[in-house]
Amino acid sequence: MDRVTAAKVFIDVAQSRSFSRTADRLNMSRPMVTRYIEAMEDWLKIRLLHRTTRKISLTSAGENCLKDIELWLEQADSISALANLENEFAGGIKITTSMSFGFSQLMPAIQNFMQLYPKVRIDMDLEDSAVDLTEKSIDLALRIASNPDPSLIGKPIAVCESALVASPSYLNKMTEKLGKANGVIHHPRDLIKHECLGYKNFERHIWHLSQKDLFESITVDCRLTANEATALLHAALNDGGICLQPTYLVNRYIKEGRLSHVLPEWKPKDLTIFALYSSRKHLSPTVRALIDHLRDYFLEHPW
């Protein structure tokens, strides 16, 4: 049996403490996981795991050699990359990111990478909430944040700017309802009079805006809130109110005239798009190549 795969299976079982969970995470059958563990124990001539009907735990020998096996696996991957004279990356990568960034910006970049390297397989997990990378066997997380999780290693790949937007018909309706003096938005404080749409994962009901050396923090009334940005985008497109949205999602609608940029001279704070991976796992050459590709792709294809 393949010793590199067997090492990966052992390391995963050591983390998950479950043959079934490792089988799901590595997309193989439970009997195959058992065979790889038995093969590792035969090669090393030691028992690596205590196995009972209720739980799995590392033996003392398993604890002692776990770090050495992780180091050996990392060296095996490095040697494999050096031996790959054609630089033809291969293997599977599991990625997690938000739904809005995934469909609007990440998917074209991923498809471009897969065209360059036809032996690479990508599994996408789209959700706005943070996930445990080890628990879900995630190789790479793309997250938008000011400060990423300190337990993860992060590489900046792009800047995320935001904008306040609303449909022209909503703005016209509010001007008619409140009158020109009250309905037209000239200053951040004017937002208090309007229907606002709240994204629960960012800023919530306080929007922080700046204009050069001026700063305003406005508490807005959000009768409609959601934990996913594209849902609020469509609420804004359907005249639901004013929404704070990432420019990667709304720039096309502003250009088309379907959304208006509200208070364009007042800027929400910028965030960074990070490529994150677990510090407890080595980074494969294919994942490293993907991170570099995404950084270069977004530089060449600004939104």
* DSSP three-state, residue 6: helix
Query: Tokens in use for 287?
Result: 């994942």
126: left (phi over 0), alpha (psi -120 to 50) or beta: beta
**Tokens 């919530």 appear where?**
204
**CB count, 10 Å around CB of 229?**
24
Note the pLDDT of residue 82. Answer: 56
| Tokens 């630089």, residue located | 87
- pLDDT digits (tens), the chain, 303 positions: 688 889 989 998 988 888 888 888 888 899 999 999 999 999 899 999 988 777 889 999 899 889 888 888 877 766 665 555 455 788 889 999 999 999 999 999 999 999 999 999 999 999 877 777 877 778 899 999 877 777 788 899 999 999 999 999 999 999 998 887 777 899 999 999 999 999 987 666 899 999 999 999 999 989 999 999 999 999 999 999 999 999 999 999 999 999 999 999 999 999 999 999 886 556 788 898 999 999 999 999 999
The domains found in the chain, sorted by start residue, are 3-83 (1.10.10.10), 90-161+272-300 (3.40.190.10), 162-269 (3.40.190.290)
Q: Look at residue 112 in the predicted model and tell me its pLDDT.
A: 95
209: alpha, beta or left? (left if phi > 0; alpha if psi -120 to 50): beta
With beta carbons less than 8 A apart as the criterion, state whether 302 and 245 touch: no
The interaxial angle of helices 229-237 and 247-256, nearest 10 deg, is 20
- pLDDT at position 79 is 67
Residue-level pLDDT at 85: 44
Residue 73 is predicted with a pLDDT of 82
Residue 159, beta-bridge partner list: 272
The answer, as to whether pTM is greater than 0.85, is no
Tokens found for residue 10? 């052992």
Match 């508490």 to its residue by tokens.
219
